[in-house]
Every structure is written in structure tokens, then in C-alpha cells.
Amino acid sequence: MAAMDNPQVRQWLQQAAARYRQAERVYNDAAMTLAAYPNLLPKLDQFTHVDGKVSHILCLYGTIPVGYKGSTYNIPIELWLPEMYPVVAPYAFVKPTATMLINPSKDVDANGKVFHAYLHYWDYRSSNLVNAVGVLQQAFAVDPPVYARPHSQPPPTTVYPPPQFVPTPSSTGSTATGMPPQPSGSSQLSSPTSLLNSRIPNTLPPPMDPHAIKLNALRADVTDKLTAKFTDFSSAMTSEMEALLHENKVLYEAQTRVQQKADALDQEVVQLGTNLAFVEKRVGEYQSMVETWESKPPLAPEDILVAANPIQAQRVSFSNPVLRSPPGATTDCEMPWLPTRMLDAVAEDHAIEDTMYMLGKALDDGKIDSTVFLKTIRSLAKEQFLQRALVQKCAKALSG
């Protein structure tokens, strides 16, 4: 009968799990393990850590079935759940009885401490106690952690207390033995073993050859040394790799910046080449224009007329017969000062236009009153009319 079939054991386990921060997870993992392995029992006991600290924590102890060379053997183990479980992996130990000896291997040391990769790389999000026991079953099936003590070797009297054997008949005719009783000084919550009437088979692998025992011990010693060296080497390589990765990242970022600047410089070189070609083209055009103008005879200022609106710009030559003085021409339009007089009239017209504009702004800003404004505008408008009339008369004379 499994321990979890008893309601009193379930209640006891809930009380024991309440000591942990993640009580629900502790209870579920312990309950699933006890249900999957009926030969395991729970208890609360003192556990001494490596630093000497003593804790009162939950322990699952008993045997788990392990297949080896076609036979099934019950391997005694203890699973301790630390205070920070499940964040911290459980502690697993092989606890041989008086008739057993520990067989050191890569997973178990000479003191029975289990060093399996599943426990070393424990992840509370994906790892659990049931899977841990299953992994240990598979590992022990390859290399059993205990073997039968030779009859010529007396059992130790100081390491493990001998269990009380209660013979009970079995279906195969073999003899089964019970688990050791709990200490009398423990509290009422120490273990629910008294509530159960279970017996755990105690069959062991056959005795091993002494040379094989020595070979296994040497193999375990070499494995421990290699593991320690590999751990140191892995830590050193990890640190060096992180430094190299960081340096590679810095170099890659610098290369990216340099490449961006090089691309920008290439674009500037192309743009400068385009601008240089444009400037050289313009310089050539200007040089041609200068040479053309230098090859022509010099012009007098009176030979060129640049008239503003409303008279279109024209080039005037005094030798042009259309500029002959028409009959009845006035003094203002007589030759040869006709172009100069027309230019002065246009300039006067524009000056009057600008003066009217500024008078309007002065009126808006309140700098002059309306009387002064109207009087001045009337005078300027009269003058502007005369100048424009003169421009039209001169333009008519020039156009013949």
C-alpha cells in the first residue's frame, strides 16, 4: 500500500509542507513521488549542511526498484527537500544498510552523495522530484550504487545504525525486511511511519569482485578530478569567451560606423565631382562670352538704353534712321539726348511711386494726418502724370 493512500499521511504531509515558502509545490511533488514509489516514506528530520548549518526539513526515504542484469533490486535512498525547494535542487543520498557497501561511480561518491547531471542542472520550472527519482533509477540500472557486503567483512558500527528486520512471508518465498524505526526523541510531526503497516523488500545485487571495487573507486576518483578540472577550464573559457564576444561586438559596431562614414565620403566625392564639372562648364561658357565681348568694339554709355516698365528694354543706336526727329517734336524729345531723357523720366516715375507707398505707410502708422497726405499725394500724382506722358512721347519718337 502506498503511503499516500492513507488520509492521515496526506494530512501530515500538508502540515510538513507548510514549513516551506512554496508549500503547494512541495506537497504536490512529494505526494506524486510517494504515489509513484510505494516503498518511499516521508519524515521530518535534521539535516546538517556543508557549512555546519542544521535544518529541520522534509525527507523521503526508503527504496526504489532498479533493474540490473535481468533482476530487480531495491536501492535504499534518501531525498531531502531544502528550505528553498523547488528553486534549489533536492539532496539525494544512497543509504546502505549494514549488509551493503557503497559502489562509488560517476554519479555517487564514497559517502553516498549523489552527483547526477539532472540535479546539477536543476530547473524548478521544468524539473520535479518524480522525474529526478526516475533519472536515478536509470543511472543506477547502468551502475548500481551498492553491492552486498562480503561475509568475511564485519559490518560497521559507527556510520549507519542497523535496521530492525521483521521477517514476513512473501509470494516468492523470499524474506522481506522493514525500514529502521524513527528516533524516539522526534516530535509528533517527525514521521507518519507509525500510521503505516508497510514492509520494504531488501534484495541486493550479488557481491562484486574486490578488483572491480578498487577499479570503480579509482574511476570515481579520476572522474571527480576531471570534473573539477573541466569545471575550472569551463569557467575560464566562459569568461574569456564573454570578453572576446564583447570585444567582437565593439569592433563590429566600430566597423559599421567606419563603413557609414566611408559611404558618406564616397557620396561627397561624387557630388563634388558633379559640382566641379558644372563649374568648369560654366567657366568655359563665361570665358567664351568674355572673349566674344572683348572682340567687339567698345560701346558708349549713350548707345545702350535699359528702360523699366512700361517701356520694354531696347538697344538703341544713334545711327538708326528711325530715330530721326519727327516734325513738330518738342525740346524734351529732340536728339541726341532722347534716350537719356527717357531714362530719367522712367526713374522719376518709379521714385514717385515709392514715395507714394511710403506716405501710405506713414498715414497708417499715424505719423502724418490725412490733410498732409492728400496734399502731398495730389502734388506727386501730378508730377508722375507728366513724367509718364514724357516717357510715352519719347517711346513714340524712338519707335519712329
What string of DSSP letters covers 227-255? HHHHHHHHHHHHHHHHHHHHHHHHHHHHH
Residue 234 maps to a domain = no
Q: Is residue 379 part of a domain?
A: yes
56 and 198: one domain? yes
Q: Between residues 158 and 89, which one has the greater pLDDT?
A: 89
Question: Domain boundary at 208, 240, 272, which?
Answer: 208
Q: Where does the pLDDT of residue 191 fall: very low under 50, low under 70, confident under 90, or very high at 90 and above? A: low
Over 90: is that where the pLDDT of 380 sits? yes
Is 268 a member of any domain? no
- Residues 6+ away with beta carbon under 8 Å from 203: 71, 72, 73, 74, 174
Cα–Cα nearest to 267, from 275, 257, 278: 275
Q: What is the mean pLDDT of residues 386-391?
A: 92
CATH number, residue 76:
3.10.110.10
What is the structure's pLDDT at 34? 92
Same domain, 145 and 18: yes
66 and 198 in a common domain: yes
Asked if the model's pLDDT at residue 171 lies above 50, the reply is no
Q: Looking at 36-40, 247-251, 290-294, which range is the least confident one?
A: 290-294
Please state the rounded mean pLDDT for residues 378-397: 91
Specify whether the CB–CB gap between 63 and 202 falls below 8 A: yes
Q: What is the predicted pLDDT for the residue at 205?
A: 46
Q: What is the mean pLDDT of residues 286-296?
A: 86
Per the rule left: phi > 0, alpha: psi between -120 and 50, beta: everything else, 173 is: left
Q: Are residues 312 and 197 both part of a single domain?
A: no
Higher pLDDT, 325 or 116: 116
| Residue 30 lies in domain | 3-208
Domain boundary among the residues 188, 208, 228 is at 208
**Of 208, 240, 263, which one is at a domain's C-terminal end?**
208
* Residue 2: per-residue pLDDT: 67
In the chain, where does DSSP find H-type helix?
7-17, 23-36, 117-120, 129-142, 210-295, 338-364, 370-398
Checking if the pLDDT of 139 tops 60, the result is yes
Q: Is residue 336 part of a domain?
A: yes
Q: Place 174 in a pLDDT band, splitting at 50, 70 and 90.
A: very low
Count of residues making up the chain: 400
* DSSP code at position 298: P
Longest dimension (CA), the chain: 162
Same domain, 186 and 318: no
Both 56 and 195 in one domain: the answer is yes
pLDDT at residue 262 tops 60: yes
Q: Is the pLDDT of residue 82 over 50?
A: yes
What is the predicted pLDDT for the residue at 224?
Answer: 79
Same domain assignment for residues 147 and 22: yes
Whether 330 is covered by a domain: the verdict is yes
CA 163 remoteness from chain centre: 57
Mean pLDDT lowest among 115-119, 300-304, 352-356: 300-304
Count of helices and strands (H, E) across the chain: 7, 10
pTM higher than 0.75: no
- 103-133: per-residue pLDDT in tens? 898 889 988 999 998 998 898 888 999 999 9
Is residue 282 a part of any domain in this protein?
Answer: no
19 domain-assigned:
yes
Supply the mean pLDDT for the chain. 77
pLDDT band at 154 (very low <50, low <70, confident <90, very high): low
Q: Indicate if 169 and 312 belong to the same structural domain.
A: no
pLDDT: which is higher, 182 or 65: 65
Same domain flag for 188 and 319: no
pLDDT of residue 201: 40
pLDDT band at 79 (very low <50, low <70, confident <90, very high): very high
Q: Is the pLDDT of residue 332 over 70?
A: no
- Indicate whether 92 belongs to any domain: yes
Total of domains in the chain: 2
Model confidence pLDDT, tens digit, residues 216-234: 667 777 887 888 888 888 8
Residues 313 and 201 reside in one and the same domain: no
Q: Of 19-33, 112-126, 145-159, which gets the smallest average pLDDT?
A: 145-159
Spatial strand order in the sheet of 54-68: 40-48, 54-68, 71-81, 91-94
